[in-house]
């Protein structure tokens, strides 16, 4: 599900996109550490790619994410291999919400660059 939500009339984020979805957690291994992500569904990812915005490094899109009782501001990034945007899951959030290497998380996402 996704919808446009008025935040502050005539403010810098007068409209933003809100998404809510379940996502599988996946691990990306590097030489020094592992990173964990949740992939956005196909349809919202495709729609987000179509929204004009100022370019940011790595194609990043600024968001506020909520999983369980944890809310944080971060960016989502396009994953060319999956063809969708991915949400990085900070270690503090994974610990606070008991998120393991494999599993499903329920994500609420407010997209600020929409």
Per-residue pLDDT of 9-30, as tens digits, reads 555 544 567 889 999 899 887 7
Pick the CATH number of 2-111 from 1.10.10.10, 3.10.20.30, 3.40.50.880, 2.40.30.100: 2.40.30.100
Per-residue pLDDT of 62-106, as tens digits, reads 999 999 999 999 999 999 889 999 999 999 999 999 998 888 999
Helix segments in 39-101, DSSP class H? 42-50, 91-96
């Amino acid at each position: 599900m996704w919808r446009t939500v008025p935040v502050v009339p005539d403010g810098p984020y007068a409209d933003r996109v809100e998404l809510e979805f379940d996502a599988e957690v996946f691990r990306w291994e590097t030489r020094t550490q592992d990173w964990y992500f949740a992939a956005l569904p196909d349809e919202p990812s495709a729609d987000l790619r179509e929204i004009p915005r100022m370019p940011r490094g790595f194609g990043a899109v600024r968001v506020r994410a909520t999983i369980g009782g944890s809310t944080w501001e971060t960016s989502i990034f396009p994953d060319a291999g999956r063809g969708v945007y991915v949400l990085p899951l900070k270690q503090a959030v994974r610990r606070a919400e008991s998120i393991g290497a494999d599993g499903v998380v329920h994500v609420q996402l407010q997209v600020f660059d929409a």
